[in-house]
């Protein structure tokens, strides 16, 4: 008899038939005696349809009105799911974000949750009702409708679970869990039973787009056990929790993440004087371009090379900015490369075990793959390589770290 | 510099292009210096789409959830219209019924307005903003979303105009005003400059479906000048106001209304004893069937004939009920006729002038049209005739009362 928050994304509620399937699943949990709070997204395609209407009117829709518009998508789904549960003889009540109420700041289209009033939901749960909440939306102090930004329904679910001190927050999606790496690249990729919030954050931010990063941060912060499951097939999914000290067998590495979204820029032959890094990066961040990895080589002859990566969409703009900086600083040249990929191995076990990075470098070298940049954190090692080697690198590392095997069966 | 409430129905906001046209018109009024509050319906087709989704799930959708669902239709329109006004450099803010707030009772899908808080709207108007309100919806004491029933956007507009003490409430629709009768039946039908609330109520309830009856009642009760105009062409429309005592030339008759929606039932040979009318009508009203006209002939031999009309859709059910009643009361027979039409002449001038009814009966007799039932009120005379004579009757009466002429040019 647990309190469970379930979240169903747009594909899971994309048609009336799928909404009925969700109702079946919710009803089953309820009949098993659990208290259930359901968070739903807009039916797939609906948010884009609404955004299309706005853009047919103006290229520059007002954020406040955008939120009024797109928040209707989830409102439709909550009503339909409530009706489907009523048809099954199940008590259920729908809530918009404002009705809950989910209080946010006033940053329209990217609002942040400030407080959740759990009284209405508690009263309904006590009466045996299923509570159905529109994801992705809230209301500010002045009563304006706000949205959390696209995909924000995950965040709504985790925030509700935290507010209600739920036993588990289940995110239903179109994959059946979190994998050691992308199964489309590595056939033997294995579903993880468990992963820590920290690892999941690294995996998510590195391109494994199963969950929204913000929702994982939120879950970690409030210690809400998070489970990723498929809404189309049965299975235990992947549980995302705090690191469990009692687990003897903490796997050394949990997964391999990668992305092709970045581009690399180098300002070569920069005079090596104090403050040069900030003089290079400030114009970039002033242009609202986010910098990911940064490497500055040891200088020689009082000159150094400065390399960093940005999102590939920002590549050309950054080149232009850097050309100006080159002139100002009297640097030698600007070198750009948007044919790169980032590959990372992630695992909390690295905290207490050395040698992961060197094994990774050795393996890549064996495959003849040149490492262009390296960046490390407590629980991950990332390298930048030429994009053409991406699949080769991921497969080689997946095999080298025996990630297709259960941690207990690995030879290291 | 007036305060004007404008209401645009589903056809007037049916496409993005039409919403732009509404924005042009609203902007023009605003630039002339008027304060403008706009009430909009859902884009045409949208409410039916949403109802279709509900019915794909269940034949019996919960009224509370139905309101959550269909209220999204107007919410989409308010956001799009606000964006279109912003594009024109005009300040504008959208409000859902709950945000205004329009407080209603909790009778979902047919709620009644109890109170309107004008503070948010006033604050916006003072800042020079156009206020855009979702029609048809409100919120109850508990914060549940309610709707006023289909077409209820007219009522929202009038209620807002009353709460704000607006100078005029303009209802934009697909006709350019209220006519002496249906122009599709009588070529020479004339647009009325002015009509009283009472006349409009009789016209509306008798089948001239320009405005919702409830909105006219509301306007009359709070003395809100109401104007019906076309959203597709320019023109003064028809002003609906209180009876103006200063007008010397009150037209004797203002218009001719008619409908084919009714059916006639007679219980013949009923024992003429006290209480018989209620014994006949109670089973009918118990079945939620609304009775319109009622006639009881003078009895002879202690027996009488009892005739009434109901909506044609209820004809068969009423026949069945009446058959049972016939047995219980020992009446002779049940006679039904669903090939009837009701024709009414309406005019406040009848109050002070006799002879309208007799002129009507005389004219119908000249045309060889048999009158089956008669019902009168202070400002109207209605007759039931065979449906096949409907057009003939309407044209003959329109001509006899010279309704194609201005009141001052008439010979009576």
- pLDDT tens digit string along B206-244? 666 677 778 888 899 999 999 999 988 889 999 999 876
Q: What is the pLDDT of residue A386?
A: 96
Q: Which two tokens stand for residue A171?
A: 């995110």
Range B369-380 average pLDDT: 89
Q: Which two tokens stand for residue B273?
A: 């004893």
Output A354 or A169, whichever has higher pLDDT. A169
DSSP state of A124: H
Q: pLDDT class for A395, splitting at 50, 70, 90? A: very high
Q: What is the pLDDT of residue A211?
A: 79
Structural Rg of chain B based on CA atoms: 24
Range B297-306 average pLDDT: 82
Range B102-128 average pLDDT: 95
Chain Cα centroid distance, residue A216: 7
Q: What is the mean pLDDT of chain A?
A: 91
What angle is formed at CA B135 by the lines to CA B132 and CA B138, rounded to 5 degrees? 105
Taking the C-alpha atoms of residue B361 and residue B383, their distance in angstroms, rounded to an integer, is 9
Taking the C-alpha atoms of residue B29 and residue B8, their distance in angstroms, rounded to an integer, is 14
Q: Is B198 left (phi over 0), alpha (psi -120 to 50) or beta?
A: alpha
Q: What is the pLDDT of residue B245?
A: 60
Tell if the CB–CB gap between B98 and A94 is shorter than 8 Å.
Answer: no
Asked if residue A202 has pLDDT above 60, the reply is: yes
Report whether CATH 3.30.420.10 matches the domain A246-412: no
Task: List pLDDT tens digits, range A80-99.
Answer: 999 999 999 999 999 999 99
Are A237 and A172 a contacting pair, CB within 8 Å?
Answer: no
A402 at B interface, C-beta within 8 A? no
- Lowest-confidence pick of A294-298, B287-291, B393-397: A294-298
Q: pLDDT class for B375, splitting at 50, 70, 90? A: confident
Nearest residue of A to residue B133, measured between CA atoms? A68
What is the strand order of the sheet A291-296 is part of?
Answer: A291-296, A303-311, A262-271, A333-337
Torsion of CA B330, B333, B334, B339, to 10 degrees: -160
Taking the C-alpha atoms of residue B206 and residue B258, their distance in angstroms, rounded to an integer, is 6
Q: Is B272 helix (H, G, I), strand (E, B) or coil?
A: coil
Range A67-73 average pLDDT: 97
Asked if residue A20 has pLDDT above 70, the reply is: yes
Taking the C-alpha atoms of residue B15 and residue A406, their distance in angstroms, rounded to an integer, is 58
Q: pLDDT class for A175, splitting at 50, 70, 90? A: confident
CB atoms within 10 A of CB A193: 13
Beta bridge partners of A113: A104
Taking the C-alpha atoms of residue B379 and residue B361, their distance in angstroms, rounded to an integer, is 16
Chain Cα centroid distance, residue B163: 21
- Lowest-confidence pick of A48-62, A78-92, A196-210: A196-210
Q: What is the pLDDT of residue B207?
A: 60
Where does B3-173 sit in CATH, by number? Answer: 3.40.1160.10
B57 contacts in chain A (CB < 8 Å): 16, 19-20, 80, 83-84, 87
Q: Which architecture does CATH list for A3-174?
A: 3-Layer(aba) Sandwich (3.40)
Residue of A24, A27, A50, A65 for testing the chain B interface, max B β-carbons within 10 Å: A65
Strands (E), B150-261: 168-173, 194-196, 226-230, 238-241, 255-259
Q: What is the pLDDT of residue B88?
A: 97
Q: What is the pLDDT of residue B250?
A: 62
Taking the C-alpha atoms of residue A157 and residue A168, their distance in angstroms, rounded to an integer, is 10
Encode B26-49: b = buried (16+ Cβ within 10 Å), e = exposed: bbebbeeebbbbbbbbbbbebbee
- Those of residues 51-80 in A touching chain B at CB distance below 8 A are 53-54, 56-58, 60-62, 64-66, 68-69, 71-72, 75-76, 78-80
Q: pLDDT class for A208, splitting at 50, 70, 90? A: low
User: Which residues, at least 6 apart from B366, have a Cβ–Cβ distance to it below 8 Å?
Assistant: B396
* Closest CA–CA distance from residue A211 to any residue of chain B (Å): 28
Beta bridge partners of A217: none
* Closest CA–CA distance from residue A232 to any residue of chain B (Å): 19
Q: What percentage of chain A exceeds 90 in pLDDT?
A: 73
A143 at B interface, C-beta within 8 A? yes
Q: Report the greatest alpha carbon distance in chain B.
A: 79
Burial grade of B7 (CB within 10 A; 0-12, 13-18, 19 or more) = buried
Q: Is B143 helix (H, G, I), strand (E, B) or coil?
A: coil
Query: What's this model's pTM, rounded to 2 decimal places?
Result: 0.82
Taking the C-alpha atoms of residue A353 and residue B318, their distance in angstroms, rounded to an integer, is 86
Residue with tokens 């069937």: B289
Q: What are phi and psi of B233, to 5 degrees?
A: -140, 155
Q: Which two tokens stand for residue B276?
A: 């018989």
Q: What is the pLDDT of residue A209?
A: 67
Segment B98-101 long-range contacts (CB within 8 Å, at least 24 positions apart) = B98/A98, B98/B137, B98/B138, B98/B139, B98/B143, B98/B145, B99/A143, B99/A144, B99/A145, B100/B133, B100/B160, B101/B138, B101/B139
Nearest residue of B to residue A57, measured between CA atoms? B84
CA-nearest of B234, B6, B42 to B148 is B42
Task: CATH 3.30.2130.10 in chain A: give the residue spans.
Answer: 246-412
Task: CATH 3.40.1160.10 in chain A: give the residue spans.
Answer: 3-174
Query: Cα separations (Å) of B37 from A411, B27, B168?
Result: 74, 11, 11
**Chain A to chain B Cβ contacts (< 8 Å):** 107
Taking the C-alpha atoms of residue B37 and residue B6, their distance in angstroms, rounded to an integer, is 6
């Amino acid at each position: 008899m647990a309190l469970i928050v379930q979240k169903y994304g747009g594909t899971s509620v994309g048609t009336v038939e799928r909404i009925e399937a969700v109702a079946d699943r919710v009803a089953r949990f309820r009949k098993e005696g659990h208290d259930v709070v359901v968070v739903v997204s807009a039916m797939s395609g609906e948010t884009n349809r609404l955004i299309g209407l706005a853009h047919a009117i103006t290229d520059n829709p007002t954020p406040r009105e955008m939120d009024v518009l797109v928040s209707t998508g989830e409102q439709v789904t909550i009503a339909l799911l409530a009706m489907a549960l009523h048809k099954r003889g199940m008590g259920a009540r729908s809530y918009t974000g404002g009705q809950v109420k989910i209080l946010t700041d006033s940053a329209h289209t990217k609002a942040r949750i400030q407080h959740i009033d759990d009284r209405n939901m508690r009263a309904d749960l006590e009466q045996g009702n299923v509570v159905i909440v529109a994801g992705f939306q809230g209301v500010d102090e002045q009563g304006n409708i706000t949205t959390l930004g696209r995909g924000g329904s995950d965040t709504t679910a985790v925030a509700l679970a935290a507010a209600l001190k739920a036993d588990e927050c289940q995110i239903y999606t179109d994959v059946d869990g979190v994998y050691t790496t992308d199964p489309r690249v590595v056939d033997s990729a294995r579903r993880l039973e468990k992963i820590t919030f920290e690892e999941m954050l690294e995996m998510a931010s590195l391109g494994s787009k199963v969950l929204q990063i913000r929702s994982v941060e939120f879950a970690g912060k409030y210690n809400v056990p998070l489970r990723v499951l498929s809404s189309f097939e049965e299975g235990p999914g992947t549980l995302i929790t705090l690191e469990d000290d009692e687990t003897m067998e903490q796997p050394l590495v949990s997964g391999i993440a990668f992305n092709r979204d970045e581009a690399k820029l180098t300002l070569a032959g920069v005079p090596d004087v104090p403050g040069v890094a900030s003089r290079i990066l400030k114009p970039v961040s002033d242009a609202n371009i986010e910098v990911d990895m940064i490497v500055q080589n040891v200088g020689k002859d009082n000159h150094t090379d400065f390399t960093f990566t940005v999102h590939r969409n920002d590549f050309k703009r950054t080149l232009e900015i850097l050309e100006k900086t080159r002139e100002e600083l009297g640097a030698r040249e600007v070198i750009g490369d948007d044919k790169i990929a980032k590959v990372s191995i992630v695992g909390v076990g690295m905290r207490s075990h050395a040698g992961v990075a060197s094994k990774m470098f050795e393996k890549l070298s064996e495959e003849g793959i040149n490492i262009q940049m390296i960046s490390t954190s407590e629980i991950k090692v990332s390298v930048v390589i030429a994009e053409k080697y991406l699949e080769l690198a991921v497969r080689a590392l997946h095999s080298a770290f025996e990630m297709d095997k259960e941690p207990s069966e690995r030879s290291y």
